[in-house]
């Protein structure tokens, strides 16, 4: 497996992973699948400063992706980012998420980032466990801030100081 910067040509595979989550899970609170145009905007927002990275298997299939985003647009938060990562549902439980999150943490350190924040649905125990296994600590909960699949959802906020 290899982790590399995403390219525009990766968008269809990235969208396949993300839109599966939109339709089948609470790992995102989006409720409608994203289009190529939608993802191009995300791609443009990340640019060279916060690139999107993909995980490719030996067959060159993208099996996961992730990125760091500014925590806030306010300058005082410039040393804090938020992580996002998604693993293809057929490839979970194989250490790919851990490999990708470790990679993102190292990239943040290289960029002299001091904090990484994760906002995770309270029912997404695998993601909570993954983050905690790499040193993230739970710092709060926002109760019933999301609504999907006919129910209210809460968010756990985790923090990692680098």
Domains (range + CATH), the chain: 2-161 (3.40.630.30)
Distance CA 87, CA 105 (A): 17
Strand partners, 64: 55, 87
pTM value > 0.75: yes
pLDDT value of position 59: 85
Distance CA 26, CA 36 (A): 21
Strand partners, 113: none
Distance CA 30, CA 15 (A): 13
- The answer to whether the beta carbons of residues 122 and 153 sit under 8 Å apart is yes
Distance CA 101, CA 59 (A): 22
Tens-level pLDDT at each residue, the chain (162 residues):
999 999 999 999 999 999 999 999 999 999 999 999 999 998 888 878 889 999 999 888 999 999 999 999 899 999 999 999 999 999 999 999 999 999 999 999 999 999 999 999 999 999 999 999 999 999 999 999 999 999 999 999 999 999
Query: In what order do the strands lie in the sheet containing 62-70?
Result: 2-5, 53-56, 62-70, 80-87, 115-121, 151-161, 137-148
How are the residues of the chain apportioned to helix, strand and coil, as percentages rounded to the nearest 5?
35, 35, 30
Distance CA 132, CA 138 (A): 8
Distance CA 30, CA 23 (A): 9
pLDDT value of position 43: 87
Query: Which three-class secondary structure state does DSSP give residue 54?
Result: strand
> Angle 139-114-64 (CA atoms, 0-180°, nearest 5)?
80
């Amino acid at each position: 497996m290899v982790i590399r910067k995403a390219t525009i040509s990766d968008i269809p595979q990235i969208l396949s992973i993300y839109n599966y989550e939109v339709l089948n899970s609470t790992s995102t609170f989006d409720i409608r699948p994203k289009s190529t145009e939608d993802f191009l905007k995300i791609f443009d927002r990340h640019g060279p400063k916060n690139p999107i990275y993909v995980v490719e298997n030996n067959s060159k299939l993208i099996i996961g992706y992730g990125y760091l985003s500014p925590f806030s647009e306010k300058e005082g938060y410039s040393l804090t980012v938020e992580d996002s990562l998604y693993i293809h549902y057929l490839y979970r439980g194989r250490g790919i998420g851990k490999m990708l999150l470790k990679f993102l943490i190292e990239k943040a350190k290289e960029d002299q980032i001091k904090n990484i924040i994760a906002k995770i649905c309270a029912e997404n125990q695998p993601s909570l466990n993954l983050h905690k296994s790499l040193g993230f600590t739970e710092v709060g909960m926002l109760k019933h801030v999301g609504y999907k699949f006919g129910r209210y959802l809460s968010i756990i906020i985790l923090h990692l100081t680098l």
